[in-house]
A and B are shown apart, each in its own frame.
Chain A
Amino acid sequence: MSKRNVGFSSYLRDFLSSKIGLAGLIILIILLIFTGIAISIPAKVYASWNNPASWNQYPEHVPPAWLSIFYPNKYFTTEELSPINMSLYSPAKNIFVAVITYQFNWSKVLPAYNVYFITSTNVTPIEEVIYWSKPDGYTLQINVPNGVFNVPFDLTSIRGDILNYISSITGKTPNIVNSTVLSSALFNSPKSNFTITEQGKYVVKIEIVSSSPMNITKSGLLLLGNSYGLMGTDYFGRPLDLGVLLGLPNALEIGALTSLVAVLVGIFVGGISGYLGGNKDSAIQWLTLVFLALPALPFLVAVSFVTQPNLEIEALLIAFLSWPFYAIIARSMALSIKSNSFVEADKLLGIPSYRVFFTHFMPRLIPITVAYMALGVPAGILLAQTLAFLGIAPANIVTWGGILDAAETYQAQVNGWWWWVVFPGAMIVIVAIPFVLIGFAIERVTLGER
């Protein structure tokens, strides 16, 4: 073992001069900044994650938006339109009509993924009709069914008239009715049997009829793109970048808490065991073995059924299972420290053994403790995410393992929704790496290069 100055500042200097340690520290700081952002997200958003209805107006299972840079013809993002004109008039007594006009230029070779109509009024309309004018001049009239007034609705809620239009052109009703089929009727040219997009100026008029005077409180038109955000969306349209961000604080918390408890307990138990030696050492080793033999994953699964743990209890359970590993390491370190002559000297001087332990023994274990605390964080994170992947996670918490569990359930790999698999998993790796780097760096600093 190298002879170095034992002192915090010298360790710190050595640590900062190591490239991997510095790299780990920088990644960690960036992650902490993102954690701050994630914590500042309102609890409402957090709570809505598991409510599919909250994500209606997002395109479902679409890849990240930045793909449009590489494939400009294939991917585009959502366009949000505000009305260019709104007029209210009353053609007869007790009949009030509002007309909202939207206009947009469509220059993409693909139709929009879906169209969302957002209108809300202070009254219940009698009738709501959409006039969809295509660049070639054809106007499609769509009657909105009663049930969907005043709530944002998409093409599948008004499919009746669109399906009639499709069958009037092609002569048959499509077997599968989804938003893609419906929007192709709205955007594609009927001459090409709805295979070529009509480019040019589209005008959409929404006519709302009511029996009492009304106010339009909200109006908008969403042309959903086939790509979204930094990481795409999942099966329900939940943006994965939000999910990944929401999962960050609890991953770090569980990793840090697990590692802190497990390493402190492990080093203390292992240190005492190595220091005392003899029968007491054997007894502590026996105890360590008892806990080592508990298989982590099935044990946690079984216990989760009893306790339904929250985040902190889950972390403590993981720590409860992982301290023996650190105890074994600490014991072997303690044995090598014990062979140093200063222990003999202390004994000869008549210093009580508990004081030798706390003043001379434990301080020499501190560097390795810090190194293993860093190295222990990824293990805790991995185990927690694995549990979440198995469907065992504290309730009301967004975890990457949980997102990946959903990806597995909805067969993301079969459907080629790679972004759903890659990003949450990559986050587990990205969060684990700085701790591994820092741990390795501290280990090298304290134990010497070789």
Chain B
Amino acid sequence: MGFTTYMIKKVLIYFSVLLATLTILYIFTFPILQEIIAKSINFQVAQFSQTLFKNAHSLNSTQIQIAVEKYRESLIAAYGLNQPIIDKYFIQMYNLIRFDFGTAYFLQAPSGSREVSSIIAYYLPNTILLFTTATIIFIVTGTIIGLLSAKSKFWEKVIAIIAVIHSSIPTWWLGFVLIAALAYAVKVFPPGGMTSVPPPKNPFDYGISVLYHMSLPLITIFIVNVGGFAYIVRSLVTSIMKEDFVITAKARGLPDSRILYRHVLRSASPSIATQAILALAGSLGGSLTTEVVFEWPGVGLLTYVAITLNDLPVILGITYVLTIVLLVGLFLGELVYGLLDPRIKVGE
């Protein structure tokens, strides 16, 4: 089986997974969706009747009422409210695949659009910027520490401690504490936001300002996550250390560091890459609350605002978008794994 066949197979699998996941979401959120559609229809009908009253002077009120009712019925048909549940399902899936999540109740994108997809599209890049940077930093450091721990007892102890930290500290709480300490008690870092207010006009200053505001969230995410990743790398490396080719290399008298970096790292790299992409995909969906604490204008903060405003279409839209992001991440992980690990290309 060639790489192309492998890829096509994976694309098909992931597309089917996407549809199945969206179906589960649909089943769980069916009542909300009905409510959202009903509200949206009411809104459009109200708008329509207003324009009729303003513009259509030739019509009397009964005629207008009939026209409004007709309009409402056409909308109900268009949204499939009167159709059997299976049709509703297909209409919804079709909308989701086209990123059509409907209109928000209260929230607006800065462009003024109330389309949920354009609201999310405005905030998503900020989230990706913060969490991708953070993930890259902790993956690189975690890999180094993980490799070191395979060699030295000291680093192994350190890893055990930071792995415990990783599984017991909520990122948002650590952020909270660090803000209180480093932004308010000792004024080293800004307490929140993405840029200083007002944002600098010069692109260079703007970049510096973003970096400065990013540093405290980055430190927080780093502290919480580096141990967990180092722990994964360590267990991968130690299991490879026991394999025959490493023992042979040792018997040949090669220096430890050469074995570690040339032989072990090379055969561990597909797994490390997969884990890294999993971490990257997971970090987008998992650390939303961190944004709330740091007032970082990303999807997490958007979720929080949507929760406080009860803006259901936005919350649902975010769930759908993050599902897709997570799946794309997992898919890329498989591709990288396929590229790095020759065994997969040959065939399972």
Contact = CB atoms under 8 A, between A and B. Distances in A.
A170 B316 CA distance: 59
* Interface size band for B: 35 or more
Nearest to A443: B235
Interface stretch (B123-131, B205-213, B320-328, B338-346): B320-328
A426 B103 CA distance: 40
B292 interface: yes
Contacts of B308: 391
B239 to A, nearest CB: 9
A429 interface: yes
Given A294-B323, A301-B303, A432 B32 contact: no
A27 to B, nearest CB: 11
A408 B293 contact: yes
A416 B316 contact: no
Interface stretch (A31-39, A71-79, A359-367, A382-390): A382-390
B307 A385 contact: no
Contact of A386 (B13, B170, B183): B170
Nearest to A382: B170
A30 interface: no
Contacts of A437: 164
A302 B168 contact: no
A433 B164 contact: yes
B31 A306 contact: yes
Contacts of A422: 177
Given A389-B172, A418-B180, A432-B168, A305 B312 contact: yes
Contacts of B184: 413-414, 416
A248 to B, nearest CB: 15
Interface in A196-251: none
Given A289-B17, A404-B173, A298 B318 contact: yes
B327 A297 contact: no
Contact of A413 (B18, B191, B286): B191
29 contacts: A286-B16, A290-B17, A293-B21, A293-B323, A293-B327, A293-B330, A295-B285, A295-B286, A295-B323, A296-B285, A297-B285, A297-B286, A298-B303, A298-B315, A298-B322, A299-B319, A301-B303, A302-B28, A302-B319, A378-B168, A382-B168, A386-B289, A389-B170, A391-B308, A404-B173, A421-B177, A432-B169, A436-B163, A436-B168
Given A296-B285, A413-B179, A440-B164, 4 more contacts: A297-B286, A302-B319, A389-B170, A414-B191
A345 B316 CA distance: 52
A289 B167 contact: no
A109 to B, nearest CB: 24
A412 interface: yes
A295 B319 contact: yes
B3 interface: no
Interface of B: 13, 16-18, 20-21, 24-25, 28-32, 160, 163-164, 167-170, 172-173, 176-177, 179-181, 183-185, 191, 238, 285-286, 288-289, 292-293, 303-304, 307-308, 310, 312, 315-316, 318-319, 322-323, 326-327, 330
A379 interface: yes
Given A286-B17, A295-B322, A425 B170 contact: yes
Contact of A421 (B28, B180, B322): B180
A390 B304 contact: yes
Contacts of A378: 167-168
Contacts of A290: 17, 20-21, 24
Q: Which 6 A-B pairs have the closest CB atoms?
A: A432-B168, A295-B285, A425-B173, A413-B180, A295-B322, A298-B319
Contacts of B312: 302, 305
Contacts, number: 145
B133 to A, nearest CB: 20
Q: Is the interface of A mostly helix, strand, loop or mixed?
A: helix
Nearest to B306: A301
A437 B167 CA distance: 10
Given A286-B13, A416-B180, A428 B170 contact: yes
A16 interface: no
Contacts of A429: 168-169, 173
Given A416-B180, A429-B168, A294 B13 contact: no
Contact of A404 (B32, B176, B285): B176
A418 B186 CA distance: 13
Contacts of B293: 408
A375 interface: yes
A67 interface: no
Contacts of B16: 286
Nearest to A450: B238
Nearest to B14: A289
A112 interface: no
A110 B322 CA distance: 54
Interface in A406-450: 407-408, 412-414, 416, 418, 421-422, 425, 428-429, 432-433, 436-437, 440, 450
Contacts of B304: 390
